A and B are shown apart, each in its own frame.
Chain A
């Protein structure tokens, strides 16, 4: 008997500097829906953006436009399916760079119309959470930390369609702090992997950088002051003629970021009475963050879900998977679906 909901979904993601497409399939298990990835294609624009020390939107749009059709073709072919086998299309519609998002959204709408498939717009930030849903789905409720170059947000996930933002950054995203401190340390873009690599050879306790706790009960983050503290420390050391190894600075900075991320996430889980935590987004690829989360998981008996590194950075697999669940919940968008820079969840 034919299902009433799409079970083979094409996901499309163009919110920032990755053009990505993926095909995800619905697999039913005793535990319920367990999505399986049939393909996951990411055509990174990183080489182009390195030159600029970050993402430049107009370049992003142009590159997305060049890459989108080949990337979708490859995702469908690798999955071993034809367009006729697909049963739905999910596309990142917000938040992100509008010029970049528009490329994915327009393509998705055109394909949905041409192939007569249902369409659903996916929130990029919530999409990251679904990187943790490959092969086995975590049980609701759980506390999700999405931490990347553009976002640092704690979301209390109650179901696929019910969630509440309980904490977020008040200034810089954690990944942005990595990028800016990498700039101060004379490292390249993206800053995350560069600081991570350097920090492995440094002493995390060399410099005690401030941890911004904000108000006692606050689950919000602030990383702007930490960046400034690193800058002030470097300048003072220079004036005093002291040399501090750049490895130690990287390790000490990274320790401060990870401390706060882990502490606030665990505090959020406690406040909202859940023993399950999911951490996703580009910064969740950071080795020290993963280590600290695993440690606290064992120490506190909290279940910690971290997606594989390949699914932490932007990809379309997470979009296809969230699409599967949204379709199952009966969520659909029509061809008036629009790209939007902002989102209530960001």
Chain B
């Protein structure tokens, strides 16, 4: 397993997955740890695996229906053990567009918000949130994805801590999963 990253802080979780299915199971695990009002910011280029990870997270929140890309509708709502808002802000050129969308209703509501291309609306993100960066590398297998989970705020540090432990124990059964 490739481990080219050096953690700057032990609070950050870095994971390498080797297939879309593995990215989704990591997402499912994260989804199972989320609660009312949690906010997940997904950052990464086209094809980085944001929607794939989001599908896992949403499934981990108990949503059994089909989860498809939110790019066309911008916002897709699901009902799992909590309300889930899956949002894609790619097409919003700046945060002003977001103000028109009543985004507060989602961002500060009682459900879980998962926002793709969150770096495009950085000034509107809640101060505390879970930041997830994803990327791939042309020098490696095209199915490999690097996932970096960074907590912003105490609540999210706890989530990352639990996520790290749980993923490690899951990984110990399947050697293909990497964590550090």
In the complex, chain A residues whose CB is within 8 Å of the CB of B46: 180, 183-184, 227, 231
A173 within 8 A of B: yes
B148 within 8 A of A: no
Per the bound structure, the CA–CA distance linking A51 and B55 in Å amounts to 29
Whether B97 lies near A58 (C-beta < 8 A) is: yes
Q: Mark A44-64, 1 if CB is under 8 A from B, else 0.
A: 000000011111111100000
In the complex, chain B residues whose CB is within 8 Å of the CB of A40: none
Q: Mark B52-86, 1 if CB is under 8 A from A, else 0.
A: 10010000000000101101111111000000000
Q: Mark B79-102, 1 if CB is under 8 A from A, else 0.
A: 000000000001111000100110
Whether A232 lies near B52 (C-beta < 8 A) is: no
In B41-55, the 8 Å CB interface with A consists of 45-47, 51-52, 55
Per the bound structure, the CA–CA distance linking A173 and B66 in Å amounts to 13
Whether A228 lies near B47 (C-beta < 8 A) is: yes
B2 within 8 A of A: no
Q: How far is the CB of A166 from chain B (nearest CB, A)?
A: 14
Most chain A CB within 10 A, of B20, B68, B100, is at: B68
Whether B91 lies near A228 (C-beta < 8 A) is: no
Per the bound structure, the CA–CA distance linking A57 and B72 in Å amounts to 10
Whether A171 lies near B51 (C-beta < 8 A) is: yes
The answer, among A172, A179, A228, for a CB contact under 8 Å with B68, is A172
The answer, among A97, A176, A224, A342, for a CB contact under 8 Å with B52, is A224
A170 within 8 A of B: yes
B175 within 8 A of A: no
In B122-157, the 8 Å CB interface with A consists of 136, 138-139, 142
In the complex, chain B residues whose CB is within 8 Å of the CB of A315: none
In the complex, chain A residues whose CB is within 8 Å of the CB of B72: 54-55, 149-150, 173, 175-176
Take A52-B93, A56-B91 as given contacts and tell me if A231 and B47 are in contact as well, using a CB distance cutoff of 8 Å: yes
In the complex, chain B residues whose CB is within 8 Å of the CB of A3: none
Q: How far is the CB of A175 from chain B (nearest CB, A)?
A: 8
Take A52-B92, A57-B101, A232-B47 as given contacts and tell me if A97 and B138 are in contact as well, using a CB distance cutoff of 8 Å: no
In the complex, chain A residues whose CB is within 8 Å of the CB of B71: 54, 172, 176, 179-180
Whether A58 lies near B47 (C-beta < 8 A) is: no
A242 within 8 A of B: no
In the complex, chain A residues whose CB is within 8 Å of the CB of B91: 52-56
Per the bound structure, the CA–CA distance linking A225 and B143 in Å amounts to 10
Which residue of chain A has its CB nearest to the CB of B99? A58
Which residue of chain A has its CB nearest to the CB of B72? A150
In the complex, chain B residues whose CB is within 8 Å of the CB of A56: 74, 91-92, 97
Which residue of chain B has its CB nearest to the CB of A49? B91
Take A57-B101, A168-B66 as given contacts and tell me if A341 and B73 are in contact as well, using a CB distance cutoff of 8 Å: yes
Take A55-B91, A171-B69, A180-B71 as given contacts and tell me if A228 and B51 are in contact as well, using a CB distance cutoff of 8 Å: no
The answer, among A172, A232, A236, for a CB contact under 8 Å with B69, is A172
In the complex, chain A residues whose CB is within 8 Å of the CB of B76: 341
Q: How far is the CB of A327 from chain B (nearest CB, A)?
A: 29
Per the bound structure, the CA–CA distance linking A324 and B138 in Å amounts to 54
In the complex, chain B residues whose CB is within 8 Å of the CB of A238: 138
Per the bound structure, the CA–CA distance linking A97 and B142 in Å amounts to 34
In A224-249, the 8 Å CB interface with B consists of 224-225, 227-229, 231-232, 235-236, 238-239
Most chain A CB within 10 A, of B72, B100, B101, is at: B72
Which residue of chain B has its CB nearest to the CB of A97? B73
Which residue of chain B has its CB nearest to the CB of A61? B100
Per the bound structure, the CA–CA distance linking A97 and B75 in Å amounts to 9
A-B contact pairs, 28 of them (CB 8 A): A52-B93, A53-B90, A54-B71, A54-B91, A55-B72, A56-B74, A56-B92, A56-B97, A57-B75, A57-B101, A59-B97, A96-B73, A97-B73, A150-B72, A170-B66, A171-B51, A171-B52, A171-B68, A172-B71, A173-B68, A176-B71, A176-B72, A228-B142, A231-B45, A231-B47, A232-B47, A235-B138, A342-B77
Residues of chain A having any CB pair with chain B under 8 Å: 51-59, 96-97, 149-150, 168-173, 175-176, 179-180, 183-184, 224-225, 227-229, 231-232, 235-236, 238-239, 341-342
Residues of chain B having any CB pair with chain A under 8 Å: 20, 45-47, 51-52, 55, 66, 68-69, 71-77, 90-93, 97, 100-101, 136, 138-139, 142
Q: Which 8 A-B pairs have the closest CB atoms?
A: A58-B100, A228-B47, A54-B91, A231-B47, A150-B72, A232-B142, A235-B138, A172-B69
